[in-house]
Structure 1
Amino acid sequence: MPRDHGCALHDKGARGLPTSKVDLYAAIRRDSRAGLSSRALERKYGVGFAPVQNALPSAWPEPRKKLPPRVTRLDLFKPLIDRMLRADLDAPRKQRHTVKRIFDRLVDEHGADEISTWRRRSSRRCSPASTPLRAPARALVHSVSRTSSRPGSPNRT
């Protein structure tokens, strides 16, 4: 089931609101020319002040800003990893480095203790030591006494 994020761009096509940013800008400009105020446009399309003000002078939305590449802890060791993999091109297939072996070499030979693998992070998060212990479930136990009788069986006393 589609979720309503409170924004004109998410899942509101069924209600007659624009589904793309270009359509939203065109609708805002059209309604602005028809005489709606900025506040009324904000309410009608479920957007804030800035999108309405950006839509009025230009029919095309601004392109998304490019984010700079993220710096990772592995960046320092990428030349070393490349060197290991280039050396593996000449080695027989069974003697090439695995990801685990490259990781172990980085830790042992180059002191790369600050990097971790996905498996190590997830095992820390899901380890039995980190999960709280639950109380044992209480089961309903029916106790049957020997003096009770079952249908078709003789009474015991």
Structure 2
Amino acid sequence: MIDVCCALIFRDGCLLAVQRGKHSDHPDQWELPGGKIEPGETALACIRREIEEELDLEIVPHGFLFPVQHDYGIKQIQLFPFVAEIDSDELNLQEHQNARWLKAEELFKPHWQEADLELLRLNEKSILNCFGENDDNGRENQRPT
């Protein structure tokens, strides 16, 4: 089992999604940025390091969601999600080919990697709360069908 951290980075009511490169394990699929926890490294240290390496950003983690385990057949991962914010408007993509900021209603539109999609579904209610959007009756937004 490979331990991996990812960051749900929010800015101005939107969530950051990044697209993997054409020559990666999961070409052109979208993911939450992050990476493998190194031996002796804490999950928190890992997510800060990975976001610095992948996006040239410093994050401010302020929450943790339910992790997921996923079997890709060739590898099994355990994905530990952090909720974080950034102060900077500038992304400097080092490993990804594209990035986009998703609104709550767009959460399930990208072609997500399987583990990330599983994580989003498991934590959907908490993630929608992070967008800070409710309908007129105070109910949380629901995933589009």
TM over 0.5: no
Provide TM-score, normalisation by structure 1.
0.21
Provide TM-score, normalisation by structure 2.
0.22
Decide which structure has the larger Cα Rg and report it: 1
Q: As a proportion of its length, which structure holds more helix?
A: 1
